[in-house]
Amino acid sequence: MHDPLPDTRKSLNSSHRPRDRSVLLTACPATLIALICCVLPLLWMLAAIIANPDVRSELKMTQFRAALLERTLLYNGAAAVIATAMGLPAGLVLGRGRGPFAKLLWVILPAALLMPSLSYAYGWSQFVRLSRPFFRPMGITFIPGGNADIFRCIWSLAAWLWAVPAGLIGLALRRLDANVQQQALLDGALYRITFRQLAGPIIASLAVVTVLATQEFAVYEPTGISVVATEVRMVFDTGAMSSPDNSIAGTVSQGAGAKSPDQPARAAAAVATDLPLLCITILLSLLAIFAASRASAAEAVTVGPWPKSLDAPLWISIVAASLVLLNIGLPVFSLFASLRERFSIPYMWTEFGPQVQGAMIVAAIAASVASIAAFSAAGQWTPGLIALAGATFLVGGQLLAIALIRIYNRPWLDWAYNAWPVPVIAYVGRFGWLSLAAGRGTWTRPWQELRDMSAIDGASTFRTALSIIWPLAWPTLLAGGLLVGALSLTEVPATVLLFPQNPQVLTPMLMTWVHMARFDPMIQASLLMMIAVLVPALLALALFWIASHGKWKMLTRNSYRGGAETQRREVR
């Protein structure tokens, strides 16, 4: 029987459809936020490259810059390999595990990924300090900048970022055709076939973790290890590359680059320092997108519940549980074990309350702005928003902060530069792609059916969003905003360069203390930040659970079915 509904939809897209004046109103907030937080910084970077010949000339590699880039890719590439190897068994549990542990792992890994990288690395440094009697008989000494210390930094990054490949592999495994794997099980080649099917997500994981690791300087800086990220900060804050007279391990004067009289030259030099790595970052991002797209063929097959024969075996669950204890439990335990004074949350709140409150205020504003962008994008999608937000994320927090300093560090913009607006712009520009991705998720086929039926009834774009889309999608949209807020609490590169801030936040203080081998205020503040970031992280996970398993999923399905049947009867 001929379905009249597609013909009706075609008529909606014809030139006879009345002009919807609410499209601009609905799309304006997300577009305006993207222009301020993403487009302006990117335009400044582009202008700095075009207008400054010294920046363009840095694409010609000198021996020093080639060695710096090689060292950066070697260290962070090794971290990506270790993180992906550790994420593989956890991904198998996430993708083919049943029971409480598999469900708990979906909560633990994302929450651990949101932990402050600065505090996490300090926890591993405390573990090394506590384990010296064990390592000393083997001849292993963690001399600052030595091979053992470099491996500690690589391991710290891998143990922090291993949740990324675990999540990517787990999601890809859930989208694979279970019939193919069951046939492979009968043929005795289950793991070989599964690994071949997961080649795309594994390659994407290696590329993504490498990109994320290259943006972190707080892990390498305390012991003076030179990578591109540390050199970018050195150039902007001191005006020169690291050297014996300009040590990375020394505490850099925070905010020196923003206050210096030669700020334009330092900003251009920082862009020049990061430009070769930025080109490689773009290539790695394209590789990750290509590899992930190669694994998305599951949409063409029926993906249902997998048989029990494909369940993750017990030994893989034991390995995943051991990795959770190793990568999360051990550094946190080392922080507690290194305390000289009794652990007390009221005492820590008394000592660091103003800075934590300031961080939470700025993060709450950033989450609110990101949520507005998510709701606006869900109401009316503007092409190119995620591409702009993704590009701003890829340039890294340091270059984003430098761009904002050059744009807003002016007397007539003091109200924005010396208050919360500029940090909020930095955080939304850095992580706003998450909220925009949440809004983009409401433009898949089931949601488009709801929009089409609403348009048939003559509803405007804004009315459709207000009455149908937002009431159904609000858990996902708010979760995207909360993730931006959680990441804003723990962002190090942008926060340190934008120092001083009003209100004050805790991260610059931690960056000053991280150079001390064993310092109770650093340990206590790190633990307090870990506890604080769990609040928005767990709220976001709860909202995602509601969106995927709660009554909102049922409501969406029932609204689609009931609305479609009603519309079909009306058309007939």
3-state secondary structure 188-213: CCHHHHHHHHCHHHHHHHHHHHHHHH
What pLDDT does 246 receive?
Answer: 63
What pLDDT does 70 receive?
Answer: 93
Q: How far apart are CA 418 and CA 414, in angstroms?
A: 6
Exposed e or buried b per residue across 161-172, where buried means at least 16 C-beta atoms within 10 angstroms of its C-beta: bbbbbbbbbbeb
User: CA gyration radius for the chain?
Assistant: 25
Residues of the chain predicted below pLDDT 50: 1-17, 297-302, 551-572
What pLDDT does 39 receive?
Answer: 94
Q: How far apart, in Å, are the Cα atoms of 434 and each of 265, 299, 371, 484? A: 33, 22, 10, 7
Q: Two tokens at 114?
A: 């949101």
For residues 58 and 276, the answer to whether their CB atoms sit within 8 Å is yes
Residues forming beta bridges with residue 246, ordered by sequence position: 243
Q: How far apart are CA 218 and CA 507, in angstroms?
A: 11
Exposed e or buried b per residue across 205-218, where buried means at least 16 C-beta atoms within 10 angstroms of its C-beta: bbbbbbbbbbbbbb
Residues forming beta bridges with residue 29, ordered by sequence position: none
3-state secondary structure of 243: strand
pLDDT, tens digit (0-9, with 9 covering 90-100), for 99-108: 888 888 988 8
Residues forming beta bridges with residue 243, ordered by sequence position: 246
What pLDDT does 497 receive?
Answer: 86
| Residues whose CB falls within 8 Å of the CB of residue 490, separated by 6 or more in sequence, listed in order | 114, 115, 116, 117, 118, 507, 529, 533
For residues 513 and 522, the answer to whether their CB atoms sit within 8 Å is yes
In the 8-state DSSP scheme, what is residue 473? H
Q: Two tokens at 510?
A: 């931690």
Q: Two tokens at 372?
A: 């507005």
What pLDDT does 554 receive?
Answer: 44
3-state secondary structure of 246: strand
Q: How far apart are CA 229 and CA 216, in angstroms?
A: 6
In the 8-state DSSP scheme, what is residue 37? I
Residues in the chain: 572
What pLDDT does 303 receive?
Answer: 53
What pLDDT does 252 receive?
Answer: 54
Q: Two tokens at 99?
A: 């029971």
